[in-house]
Amino acid sequence: MKTIAFTALLAGLIATSAQAETRVIILGSGTPVPNGERAGAGVAVIHDGEAYIFDAGHGTVQRAVQAWKTMDAPELNPPAIRQVFLSHLHSDHTLDYSELAATYWWRREARLNAYGPKGLQAMTDGYYAMQEVDIALRTGGNQPVSDPTMYQVAVTEIAQDGVIFDQNGVTVEAFSVPHGDIKPAYGYKITTPDKTIVFSGDTAYSELLTEKARGVDVLIHEVISEEGWGALEPDWQEYHHSSHTLTSELARIAIDAQPGVLVLSHILHYGAPIETALTEVQALYDGNVVLASDLDEF
């Protein structure tokens, strides 16, 4: 009997441990350049039954639904998502923010909370205006609605760098990154009981990001192929170098930070093959590097 009880206890502990393991799923690895295989920027961190979304580019809500249906990730059922963090307010990082807020909101059991830079409240008010007729139809007719205010989003505009979220064993730290003339733009460091993750957002080379990423388990970083960049016109080269991280610069970051895995996402490559982003980094950095695809898990 003691052996059976101990075996049952051990099995329970193993199951609990597995359930609590943090999952990192790429919801979108693309850029503003239209690409039917890659949604806009987005990452899901799942821990202990809760999903935390970082950026919500075009198509990321459908990727979340795919992950829910095919990857045993019920936390990514859109009305179950309660936390979204936006790095900056460029369209390829925000177009599905309104879709996330609007999708099945009348079945929500908890409000969506959104964190991001100044301007996020105005963007949210624009979503309310865009959906004004829909909201009135759903709340003013005979459709069952558990809470007629649940379409509203609880917005937090980040005032300064630092920890902006600390609940349920998960902390999220926002830190400023250089993204051309877009100010502020943020990267995020996510800490759970079993993983540390840095999500770069859109950024040029950043020593602060390198410091935040040092020794993390997963570094998800945007990148631009030097081959593709080098073939651009000078004004576009200048713009991209002020706003994005060249492969040689990302290799420098990885050599210094030594993450468990470097995940290349938001992959700008233009006329060059997309694989150049990977091979150029690997030529300078011998650590674990992955060229992300949508729905990859780490």
Instruction: Please check whether residue 275 lies inside any domain of the structure.
Output: yes
pTM exceeds 0.85: yes
- Is the pLDDT confidence value at 11 over 90? no
Reported confidence tier of residue 165, pLDDT bands at 50, 70, 90: very high
Instruction: Please check whether residue 119 lies inside any domain of the structure.
Output: yes
Same domain, 147 and 212: no
Q: Of 167, 192, 220, which residue constitutes the final position of a domain?
A: 167
Instruction: Please check whether residue 261 lies inside any domain of the structure.
Output: yes
Reported confidence tier of residue 146, pLDDT bands at 50, 70, 90: confident
pLDDT, one tens digit per residue, over 63-118 is 999 999 999 999 999 999 999 999 999 999 999 999 999 999 999 999 999 999 99
How far apart CA 25 and CA 28 sit, in angstroms, is: 9
Q: Is the peptide bond before 74 cis (omega within 30 degrees of 0)?
A: no
Instruction: Please check whether residue 3 lies inside any domain of the structure.
Output: no
Neighbour count for residue 212 (Cβ, 10 Å):
21
Neighbour count for residue 26 (Cβ, 10 Å):
25
**pLDDT score recorded for residue 117:** 98
Q: Of 111, 144, 167, which residue constitutes the final position of a domain?
A: 167
**pLDDT score recorded for residue 243:** 96
Same domain, 29 and 104: yes
- Is the pLDDT confidence value at 236 over 50? yes
Contact of 28 with 57, CB cutoff 8 Å = yes
Same domain, 37 and 162: yes
Reported confidence tier of residue 18, pLDDT bands at 50, 70, 90: very low
Same domain, 43 and 100: yes
Averaged pLDDT, 208-227: 98
Same domain, 61 and 162: yes
- Mean pLDDT in the chain? 94
Instruction: Please check whether residue 234 lies inside any domain of the structure.
Output: yes
Averaged pLDDT, 149-153: 96
DSSP H or E run through 223 = strand 218-224
Tally of domains in the chain: 2
8-17, 138-147, 274-283: segment of lowest average pLDDT: 8-17
Same domain, 217 and 108: no
Same domain, 125 and 228: no
Q: What is the DSSP string of 145-164?
A: -S-TTTT-EEEEE--SSEEE
- Is the pLDDT confidence value at 17 over 90? no
Q: Of 167, 189, 221, which residue constitutes the final position of a domain?
A: 167
Contact of 262 with 288, CB cutoff 8 Å = yes
Same domain, 218 and 284: yes
Same domain, 157 and 213: no
Same domain, 135 and 213: no
Structure tokens at 96: 């599905």
Instruction: Please check whether residue 41 lies inside any domain of the structure.
Output: yes
- Is the pLDDT confidence value at 59 over 80? yes
Query: Quick one: DSSP state of residue 8?
Result: H
Range of the domain at 253: 204-292
**pLDDT score recorded for residue 14:** 46
Instruction: Please check whether residue 238 lies inside any domain of the structure.
Output: yes
Q: Which amino acid is at 270?
A: Y
Instruction: Please check whether residue 172 lies inside any domain of the structure.
Output: no
Same domain, 128 and 240: no
CATH number where 288 lies: 3.60.15.10
